[in-house]
Amino acid sequence: MEAVYHAATKEELACLWEKNVLANPADPRWAKWAREYTAYNENGMGITFAAVLEGEPVGEATLLLSPACGAIEGRLALADGKSVGNVNALRMEKRWEGQGHMSRLVGVLEGYARKRGLEALTIGVDAKETRNLGIYLHWGYREFVMAQEEEGELVLYYRKNL
């Protein structure tokens, strides 16, 4: 099986977001997020990385660089546009979960962040998602940054120095 982890092409980004929107037809936020994250990639406020398996984009992770991104909402502790970025929008198709693909994809994202001169990354997790929290702690995101209620859910933010 061929696996490639890299900065998403425009076509891969469009394919990933089309899948996300189609998988959530009753939730209009997905179409809004697709427009926002596509714009972040186009204007340099963020960069999405893709896991391409068997020639198809099946997973994504986005590095948000600007505090102006909607998911950051001006919280400089999460992304300041200089030395701190935010790992956001991690998704992997179910059939590929549990095989290390997301870990490798985040590793590529972190390598890019280092080369770009970032000193730290942050990541958020819904407090109820204990499996994801365990994964993020395993990846080294151990420094607690803040807790904040977002859309009725408690989200915990952690930081990793690069």
Residue 11 inside a domain? The answer is yes
Return the structure tokens found at 77.
């502790």
Residue 21 and residue 71 in contact, taking contact as beta carbons nearer than 8 Å: no
Residue 78 inside a domain? The answer is yes
Residue 55 inside a domain? The answer is yes
Residue 105 Cα to chain centre, angstroms: 10
Q: How far apart are CA 128 and CA 38, in angstroms?
A: 28
Which residues on neighbouring strands pair with residue 49, listed in sequence order? 7, 61
Residue 37 inside a domain? The answer is yes
Per-residue pLDDT of the chain (162 residues; tens, 9 = 90+): 799 999 999 999 999 999 999 999 999 999 999 999 999 999 999 999 999 999 999 999 999 999 999 999 999 999 999 999 999 999 999 999 999 999 999 999 999 999 999 999 999 999 999 999 999 999 999 999 999 999 899 999 999 999
Alpha helices per DSSP H over 56-140: 101-115, 130-138
pLDDT value for 1: 78
Q: How far apart are CA 58 and CA 15, in angstroms?
A: 9
Classify each residue of 12-37 as buried b or exposed e, where b means 16 or more C-beta atoms within 10 Å of its C-beta: bbebbbebbbeeeeeeeebeebbebb
Return the H-helix or E-strand segment holding 146.
strand 143-150
pLDDT value for 38: 98
pLDDT value for 63: 99
Residue 144 inside a domain? The answer is no
Q: What is the CATH number of the domain that holds 31?
A: 3.40.630.30
Which domain range does residue 24 map to? 3-122
Residue 138 inside a domain? The answer is no
Residue 97 inside a domain? The answer is yes
Number of domains in the chain: 1
Return the structure tokens found at 139.
């990846």
Residue 48 inside a domain? The answer is yes
